[in-house]
Amino acid sequence: MMDKQAIFEKWINRKDEEFKKETKESARLFAKAQENLPGGNTRTVTYFSPYPLYMAKGKGCKLYDVDGNEYIDFLNQYTALIHGHCHPAIVEAVNEEANKGLSFAAPTEKEAILGRMICERIKSVEQVRFCNSGTEATLFAIRAARLNSGKSRIVKIEGAYHGSHDLAEVSVLPVLKEAGPNDRPVSVPEHRAVPKSILDEVIAVPFNNKEATEKIIREHQKEIACVIMEVMVAISGCIPAEDGYLDFVRDLTRELGIILIYDEIVTFRLGQGGGQGIYDIQPDLTTFGKVIGGGLPVGAFGGSRELMKVFSPLEEGSVTHSGTFNANPMTLAAGIACLKELTPAAMERINSLGELIRQGINSILEKNGVVGMAIGLGSLAHVHFNKERVRDYRTYAQGNFQAITLLHRELLERGINIAPRGGEIAISTPMTEKEIKMFLTAFEESLIEIKPFIKQTTPELII
């Protein structure tokens, strides 16, 4: 009897042959790129075997690859393109700004405008500073917490991603046999370049587990500068918080005098007040990215005036926060245009489409006798082939990820683009119920195709 890997290779090899027939120009470009780029690209998450698709253009909710294949884009630059591709207002704003100058070693009025727009939406943020990526945003938010608290250790959720600096690359997607007990996770490096000293600084806690979280935090309370977390753990499958967990962590950190950081780089798109607005919780610091740049590189972090003044050059003893392209006018123009279009009505509509797609996926799974689920919040969803409900990293990690890989390939064949790394779906404002119905039709056809694989490799997922 073949093992699971051998069964998967048989299936994926067949998919590869079909894929190669339709994507010859992508194959050519990938081969050429490998001459000068290690692995043929500079963004690991966009790679999938045998080679990634090379895109030629995007318009609205559609993508077109270099071979002329058309896709409905349910990935949307990993949630960043909330208005889809080439939104007229954003393109106009960028073009207008480009004619004035691409960037300056000086502030522009737009810096204060976008900053004010963010502060008006997020009650907990009085002041904000811009950077160029979500990685930088979490790096500086943690630095602010350390500067203000005089402490160095940080607490993060096991299975959460907060960028690619050392302090963030701990217990992101750890191998379970290395991760320790469920109620006391071991800090695991994401790769071998993470120093052991970093592991001593970062404490991992399990999501949605109040008892374990409290026990670990209280044990180290005198050493902890901050807790950094999302209201929905994005990288581990869009796992929402449950059972008052967020309120519990807010109350605990406030009691112990520990700074609470919300990473809203993904979840800002969930409502006018971000994820924290949905739960009516005010953290001490917040990080932003993705949608606030309208499709251009961006990051930001903010909080109260008291916490943020450590970066103010007007304050004695302040800490330098610089970057050549911080608050560059191109990004600011795109961000302002994006947020102007991101009205309460627009967000409510795409959130309802997100609910529609989650309900549709779950109905199709039940109808076809496959155990799995679509979870998420608002305009975000994630497909899981798991027997147990996904509520933390440990349950997420039990899924059939090879089935997700095959699902991705089946959907591509049917003109649907989702995340290759595993079932992530993001709705954009150009979408309507028509696109949701097209997705669900493609999803059911794809599920029927891969159901025999699921039965062979995880028969417990077949009813």
235 close to 174: Cβ distance less than 8 angstroms: no
Where does 4-82+343-461 sit in CATH, by number?
3.90.1150.10
Catalytic, out of 65, 73, 166, 263: 263
Which residue spans of the chain are classified as CATH 3.90.1150.10? Answer: 4-82+343-461
Backbone φ and ψ of 156, nearest 5°: -135, 160
**Burial of residue 195, with CB atoms counted within 10 A of its CB: 0-12 exposed, 13-18 middle, 19 or more buried:** exposed
| Mean pLDDT of each 10-residue bin along the chain, 463 residues long | 86 96 98 96 93 98 98 97 98 97 96 98 98 98 98 98 97 96 97 96 98 98 98 97 96 98 98 97 98 98 98 95 97 98 98 98 98 98 96 97 97 96 91 98 98 97 96
276 close to 286: Cβ distance less than 8 angstroms: yes
DSSP for 116-149 reads HHHHHH-TT-SEEEEESSHHHHHHHHHHHHHHHH
CA distance 171 to 158: 5
Which residue spans of the chain are classified as CATH 3.40.640.10? Answer: 88-341
CA distance 47 to 333: 30
Q: Among this protein's residues, is 161 annotated catalytic?
A: yes
Find all residues with CB under 8 Å of 17, minimum gap 6, and list them: none
Catalytic, out of 65, 245, 290, 392: 290
Find all residues with CB under 8 Å of 32, minimum gap 6, and list them: none
Catalytic, out of 51, 54, 161, 393: 161
Whole-model pTM?
0.97
Which pLDDT value is given to residue 421?
A: 76
Helices (H), 266-424: 274-279, 305-308, 329-341, 344-367, 393-396, 401-413
Q: Among this protein's residues, is 290 annotated catalytic?
A: yes
Closest to 141 measured CA to CA, from 52, 228, 241:
228
CA distance 184 to 171: 12
CATH 3.40.640.10 fits 88-341, yes or no: yes
Q: What is the DSSP secondary structure assignment for residue 105, as one 8-state letter?
A: S
Which pLDDT value is given to residue 325?
A: 97
